[in-house]
Amino acid sequence: MKPRAIIRCAEKWGLVLVLFLVAAVAQGQEQKVPLPEEEEDPQTVRLTLEEVIKMAREQSPNYQQALTQLENRTWQYQTYKSNYLPQLALYATVPSYVNDYSQILDQNTGEQRFVRTQSAVSAGHLELKQNIGLTGGTIAIDSKLTRIDNPNGYSYASNPVVITYRQPIFNHNGLKWDRRIEPLRFEEAKRYFWEEMERIAIRATDLYFSQLQSQISYEIAQKNVANNDTLFKLAQARFYDAKISVNELLQLELSLLTSRQSLEQAKLDIEISTLRLKTYLGFTDTYPIRLIIPDQIPQFEIDEEVALVQARENRARMITLERERLDAERNLDWAEASTGINADLFLQYGLAQQAGDLVPVYENPSSQQRVNLGLSIPLLDWGRNKSRRGTARANHKLVTGNLEQQRVSFEQDVYLQVKRFKMLREQMKIAQQANGLAERRYLGAKDRYLAGKIGVLELNQAATERDSARRSYVSNLRNFWDAYYNVRLQTLYDFEMKEPLTMPLPF
């Protein structure tokens, strides 16, 4: 046999050997691929973005925490309001018994000596008290009855009616400041609760799209495995007919193995993202979840000036700025009032009587009066009070300046968030078009490859661009819905329904 004939024979049998090895490897790697079109688990829970957000707002840990904080602030507000309502209290001693030696003064000798005493004192005191918010004073109406029992008998003393008025003069009036600040604090708490509902929506949206992107990646991986498996089998037949090279066949096999590896990673990713979503929503069952792509984009326009107006009217931050300003003024008032002259006026008028029996103790009572004016005047404090007032004034000036800067930053954030929303909505339209174009391009490239008009590299490039466009589309959807709920958070206003996002309290 001639040398050239020997070489051709060796090449022929070499190709047959390579083909045999490739087929063996492919047979060893072949596995059942679950296609997206296959019937899903009948227990699968299908959820939309709106449903996930609704569940998060009703049963997530963040909702329970926000609700508890609002309840806490509500009870504090009720406590504040009770300070301006009459308070009725009963005090009683039933009885106080003493059997001991007591020191007394002997009226005959003028000496101090100890004698054994035994007595039991029973007393009742009914008091009706009212704070006066305008002046910071207190007025009270009391009724008292006391009985003393001793070895020689018993006696009564009564104060049927006693009217007492206490009035601080020049002092800090905390009740007046509370009347201005506490309603703001409660309104601030309510708006923070409503804002927290939007933050919960943002968090739920983030977890929703984390699972949705894992779901899309899993579907892409399934399609890639199915497509690469089909292409590889077709390539085997074409290789037998010597229509493609060994390198092209190996490239398709490598693509098949890579797609199977990506499918396994996608399975793990979707399990992790599903667990996180279920944990946040408070799901306790083990049913699989399948999310529906929220591609129905709401169509409405947002004007920046309208958004700023709604943000100023609805956001808790604007109330916070006003409350912080009043807090600074109250601290300044307290520092100036507590470091100067202080006085307390005490006025009391009542009736009193004592008797040896219960009925006479309320007959023909005599009047009693008390007047007391106490003064506190700092004389020498080595500049301490002056330092306190100076510190309070400096803090007031600092807070006032910071509040104005915060107001400007707040409005800038609202303006930029609206601009971001508009930009992402336009990007969403472009991504939607790109996704459709990439899918059509891949289908055309696949048909041309099967017709032998392009190579495997061009086909792989079209597949990569299709997958990238699909993922980019979902990513743009995620950014859009994040911006959508951020605009609602920044303004506490529903531009789609044209109404504020305030709602009745859940209790």
pLDDT at position 40 = 57
DSSP letters for 443-465: HHHHHHHHTTSS-HHHHHHHHHH
CA gap 402, 380 in Å, rounded: 35
The contacts of residue 480 (CB under 8 Å, 6+ apart) are: 297, 421, 424, 425, 427, 428
pLDDT at residue number 276? 93
**What residues does each domain of the chain span?**
19-74+180-324+401-500, 88-132+137-172+341-377
pTM: 0.78
Q: Using CA atoms in the order 486, 487, 493, 499, what is the torsion angle rounded to 10 degrees?
A: -110
Contact 310, 493 (CB under 8 A): yes
Residue range 68-109, pLDDT digits in tens: 999 999 999 999 999 999 999 999 988 888 888 878 877 777
pLDDT of residue 223: 85
Q: State how far Cα 251 lies from the chain centre.
A: 52
Nearest to 131 by CA among 184, 82, 91, 75: 82
How high is the pLDDT of residue 215? 92
Cα 379 to chain centroid distance, Å, stands at 51
Question: For residue 216, how many C-alpha atoms fall within 13 Å in the half-sphere facing its CB?
Answer: 21
Number of continuous H segments (helices) and E segments (strands) in the chain: 9, 10
Residue partners of 380: CB distance under 8 A and separation at least 6 = none
Whole-number Å distance between alpha carbons of 283 and 275: 9
Q: Which residue, among 314, 225, 292, 261, has the nearest Cα to 481 in the 3D structure? A: 292
Q: Which of 304, 302, 300 is nearest to 412 (CA)?
A: 304
Structure tokens, 284: 């306790």
Which residues make beta-bridge pairs with 371? Answer: 347
Answer whether 117's CB lies under 8 Å from 102's CB.
yes
Which secondary-structure segment (H or E) carries 437?
A: helix 384-450
The pLDDT of residue 432 is: 87
CB of 134 within 8 A of CB of 174?
Answer: no
Q: Angle of helix 174-240 relative to helix 49-59, nearest 10 degrees?
A: 140
- The DSSP output letter for 360 is G
Low-confidence ranges of the chain (pLDDT < 70): 1-42, 507
List the structure tokens of 293: 């792509």
pLDDT at residue 14, as a whole number: 43
d(CA 23, CA 342): 101
Provide the terminal-to-terminal Cα distance of the chain, rounded to the nearest Å: 100
In this predicted structure, what is the pLDDT of residue 464? 83
What pLDDT does residue 404 have? 84
**Closest by Cα among 492, 16, 44 to 242:** 16
Cα angle for residues 215, 219, 224 (degrees, 5° grid): 145
> What is the reported pLDDT for 38?
42
CB atoms within 10 A of CB 413: 14
Residue 489 CA to residue 68 CA, distance in Å, equals: 20
For residues 300 and 499, what is the distance between their CA atoms, to the nearest angstrom?
Answer: 13
**Predicted local confidence at residue 37, as pLDDT:** 39
Which pLDDT score is estimated for 366?
Answer: 86
Beta strands in 193-338 (DSSP E): 289-291
Tokens representing residue 298 in the block: 């709401």
CATH number for the region 19-74+180-324+401-500 comes to: 1.20.1600.10
Burial bucket for residue 385 (CB in 10 Å: 0-12, 13-18, 19+)? middle
What separation in angstroms does the CA of 42 have from each of 38, 62, 162, 266, 269? 12, 31, 79, 22, 22
User: Which one-letter DSSP state was computed for residue 36?
Assistant: T
- How far is the CA of 443 from the CAs of 190, 216, 243, 446, in angstroms? 54, 19, 22, 5
Pairing of strands 45-47, 289-291: parallel
**What three-state secondary structure class fits 296?**
coil
pLDDT of residue 387: 84
Nearest to 141 by CA among 130, 127, 131, 125: 127
Rounded CA Rg of the chain: 42
Per-residue pLDDT tens over the stretch 376-391: 777 777 777 788 888 8
At 56 the pLDDT is: 93
Q: How far apart are CA 47 and CA 277, in angstroms?
A: 12
